């Protein structure tokens, strides 16, 4: 929601897509979510930029490995820093900017075949909850944007929002978002 409050044009475009698909008096249903490509792009971009788990499940080398001139000894635990990959300009144009459109131009999915989009890990250690998480987050964001206009409390502007993360096993915002929902009267 913070990114949508920081980018009202994106929230407006998302609301327009949802309203056009669902209708003015419609109900957000899972069957209709499939027909919302911009919503899926917003969800993917959110998961890219704001990973829930910044370091993926560790791997362990089974043999000595030489990689780019470095020796990684057998039995070394290796952590994949998905947070850094998601912000790497070698993989992403303007990596710190919230740009859902990048996923409209891409066939990139949650299965992570190219290893630059890792919100759920990859391969054998990939999160088995991908379908559930994708559906729940999509339904939640669609419902919040469809049913409400959002504003910040008095005295708070988008420029004042603290986007600092606190690192740990999971990634959280240092300062929780406080926003005011206003029922839509469309």
pLDDT in tens, 73-128: 999 999 889 899 999 999 999 999 999 999 998 776 666 666 788 888 777 777 88
pLDDT digits (tens, 9 = 90+) for 11-52: 999 999 999 998 877 788 888 898 999 999 999 999 999 988
Contact (CB, 8 A) for 138 and 40: yes
Region 136-160: mean pLDDT is: 93
Region 123-145: mean pLDDT is: 88
70 versus 109: the higher-pLDDT residue is 70
Query: HEC string of 153-177?
Result: CCCCCHHHCCCCEECCCCCEECCCC
pLDDT of residue 111: 61
Domains (range + CATH), the chain:
1-54+82-116+131-183 (1.10.630.10)
Q: Which residues are annotated as a binding site for heme?
A: 127
pLDDT of residue 88: 94
pLDDT of residue 94: 96
Residue 186 has pLDDT above 70, yes or no: no
pTM to 2 decimal places: 0.89
Contacting residues for 110 by C-beta, under 8 A, at least 6 apart: 44, 117, 119, 120, 130, 134
Q: What are the contacts of 6-10 at 24+ separation with CB within 8 A?
A: 6/98, 6/158, 6/161, 7/98, 10/42, 10/98, 10/100
Compute the distance between CA of residue 46 and CA of residue 143 in angstroms, rounded to an integer: 16
Q: Which residues are annotated as a binding site?
A: 127
Structure tokens at 43: 């969800």
């Amino acid at each position: 929601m913070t990114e949508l409050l920081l980018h009202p044009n994106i929230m407006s475009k998302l609301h327009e897509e949802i309203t056009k698909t669902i209708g003015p008096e419609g109900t957000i249903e899972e069957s209709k979510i499939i027909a919302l490509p911009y919503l899926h792009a917003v969800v993917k971009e959110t998961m890219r930029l704001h990973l829930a788990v910044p370091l993926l499940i560790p791997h362990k080398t089974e043999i000595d490995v030489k990689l780019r001139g470095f020796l990684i000894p057998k039995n070394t635990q290796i952590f994949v820093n998905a947070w850094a990959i998601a912000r790497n300009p070698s993989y992403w144009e303007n990596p710190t900017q919230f740009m859902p459109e990048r996923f409209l131009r891409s066939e990139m999915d949650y299965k992570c075949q190219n290893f630059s989009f890792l919100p759920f890990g990859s391969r054998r250690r990939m999160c088995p909850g991908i379908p559930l998480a994708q559906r729940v987050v999509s339904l939640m964001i669609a419902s919040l944007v469809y049913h409400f206009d959002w504003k910040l409390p008095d005295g708070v502007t988008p420029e004042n929002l603290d986007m600092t993360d606190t690192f740990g096993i999971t990634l959280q915002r240092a300062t929780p978002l406080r926003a005011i929902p206003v029922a839509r009267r469309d």
